[in-house]
DNA sequence: CAAGTGATTAGC
DNA sequence: CTAATCACTTGC
């Protein structure tokens, strides 16, 4: 196994930089039977906490749901949307910073058979090409909320280096309520990767 | 393109 | 308490 990403990576305060650096890293979530199910991160979105109208923690809004966003970097924030889907986020920065990065898409790397079983789709391209899809494929649900990325339930490993020129950025998706923050180019993806989510 | 699904939140 | 909304996906 490649080197596990350490706590220090998540504790930094430059959330946009971290969102970019997450591209290419390998997300690993062992199955219940202990088999590795993993994928390369190909799309992320940064949510800049108290000052970002698109963030759940905007204005330091602290509720039962957003509580884990205020924990220290390296923890997992899971929320449930549209009555059906879980969304995977990594909390970054020091305690009470309340910044998070949404993992929007991954490219399957290990345990693809398990992913196919969990997602009954014809085309492998549909396996993990969206934030709700990848949670199903990886078996991520509300029980992962607050999990520590430095422990054994879910973690990140270094992947092959990514060239800066292969990174694209643009506006975030599905945040029409965020007023002047709608246009902020805080979504990052790997150019041309077929697992990047379709919508723009 | 629109339905579906239920937790979460704000507002009374 | 109620009602609107929602960091999405799928099938029409």
Residue A62: its pLDDT value, please? Answer: 96
- The dihedral built from the CA positions of residue A138, A114, A197 and A192, taken in this order, carries a sign that is positive
Residue A2: its pLDDT value, please? Answer: 84
Asked if residues A17 and A9 have their Cβ atoms less than 8 Å apart, the reply is no
Backbone dihedral angles phi then psi of residue A66, each to the nearest 5 degrees:
-80, -5
Q: What is the pLDDT of residues A116-129, one digit of tens each?
A: 999 989 999 999 99
Residue A20 CB neighbour total at 10 angstroms: 18
Asked if residues A169 and A185 have their Cβ atoms less than 8 Å apart, the reply is yes
Residue A1: its pLDDT value, please? Answer: 66
Kindly list the distances between the CA atom of residue A123 and the CA atoms of A132, A149, A176, A195, in Å, as whole numbers in the listed order. 16, 30, 30, 11
Residue A49: its pLDDT value, please? Answer: 97
Report, as ranges of residue numbers, the positions in chain A whose pLDDT lies below 70: 1, 199-200
The nucleotide closest to A45 (CA, C1' atoms): C7
Rounded, the Å distance between the CA of A27 and C1' of B8 is 28
User: Which chain B nucleotides are covered by protein, judged by CB under 7 A?
Assistant: 4-10
Tokens of A59: 């204005």
Rounded CA-CA distance A111/A101 in Å is 24
Rounded, the Å distance between the CA of A58 and C1' of B6 is 23
Residue A199: its pLDDT value, please? Answer: 57
Rounded, the Å distance between the CA of A133 and C1' of C10 is 11
**Rg of chain A in Å (alpha carbons):** 16
pTM of the model: 0.97
């Amino acid at each position: 196994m490649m080197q596990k990403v350490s706590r220090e990576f998540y504790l930094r305060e430059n959330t946009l930089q971290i969102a970019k650096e997450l591209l290419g890293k390998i997300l690993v979530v062992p199955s219940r039977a202990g088999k590795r199910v993993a994928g390369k991160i190909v799309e992320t979105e940064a949510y800049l906490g108290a000052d970002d109208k698109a963030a759940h923690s905007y204005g330091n809004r602290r509720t039962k749901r957003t509580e884990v966003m205020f924990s220290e970097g390296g923890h997992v924030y899971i929320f449930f949307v549209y009555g059906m889907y879980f969304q995977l986020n990594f909390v970054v920065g020091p305690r009470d910073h309340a910044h998070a990065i949404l993992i929007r898409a991954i490219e399957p790397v290990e345990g693809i058979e398990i992913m196919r079983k969990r997602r009954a789709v014809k085309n492998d391209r549909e396996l993990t090409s969206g934030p709700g899809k990848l949670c199903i494929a990886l078996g991520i649900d509300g029980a992962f909320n607050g999990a520590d990325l430095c422990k054994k339930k879910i973690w990140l490993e270094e992947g092959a280096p990514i060239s800066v020129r292969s990174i694209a950025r643009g506006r975030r998706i599905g945040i029409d309520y965020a007023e002047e923050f709608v246009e902020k180019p805080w979504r990052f993806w790997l150019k041309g990767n077929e697992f990047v989510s379709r919508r723009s």
